[in-house]
């Protein structure tokens, strides 16, 4: 797991052909907007979160974010324990995000 600053995250993501963006926030938080092309798996789902994470392709590079960076850091640690080699945590999360955001409705 690696913590990346907002700039590092955006730059690395832009140059990564094997990237998957993962949003670990709740449905209510996601309703306020989501980073384009992100998939959402709510970390508060407990075992269901782990089950859904285990179904992901471990050969991909995961760019993980939440509201502030705490839950996404936890998610990256869980992913490492499950055998994911490349999980990147967005420091500051959506609170500091200045990139594009799309509404889901």
pTM greater than 0.85 (yes/no): yes
Token pair belonging to 86 = 């490349």
> What is the percent of the chain where pLDDT is above 70?
99
How do 2-4 and 19-23 pair as beta strands? unpaired
Residue 46 has pLDDT above 70, yes or no: yes
Lowest-confidence region among 20-29, 35-44, 95-104: 95-104
Q: Which residues participate in catalysis according to the annotation?
A: 66
Which domains does the chain carry? 2-96 (3.40.250.10)
Confidence of residue 43 (pLDDT cuts 50, 70, 90): very high
Identify the DSSP state of 23.
Answer: E
Is it the case that residue 51 has pLDDT exceeding 80? yes
**pLDDT computed for residue 33 by the predictor:** 94
Pair type for strands 61-65 and 39-40: unpaired
Name the average pLDDT for the chain.
Answer: 95
pLDDT for 104: 73
Q: Is the pLDDT of residue 17 over 70?
A: yes
């Amino acid at each position: 797991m690696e913590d990346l600053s907002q700039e590092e995250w955006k730059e690395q993501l832009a140059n990564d052909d094997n990237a998957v963006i993962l949003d670990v926030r709740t449905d209510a938080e996601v309703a306020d907007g989501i980073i384009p092309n992100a998939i959402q798996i709510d970390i508060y789902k407990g075992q269901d979160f782990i089950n859904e994470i285990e179904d992901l392709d471990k050969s991909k590079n995961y760019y993980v974010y939440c509201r502030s960076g705490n839950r996404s850091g936890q998610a990256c640690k869980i992913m490492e324990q499950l055998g994911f080699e490349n999980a990147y945590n967005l420091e500051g999360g959506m609170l500091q995000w200045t990139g594009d955001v799309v509404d889901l409705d």
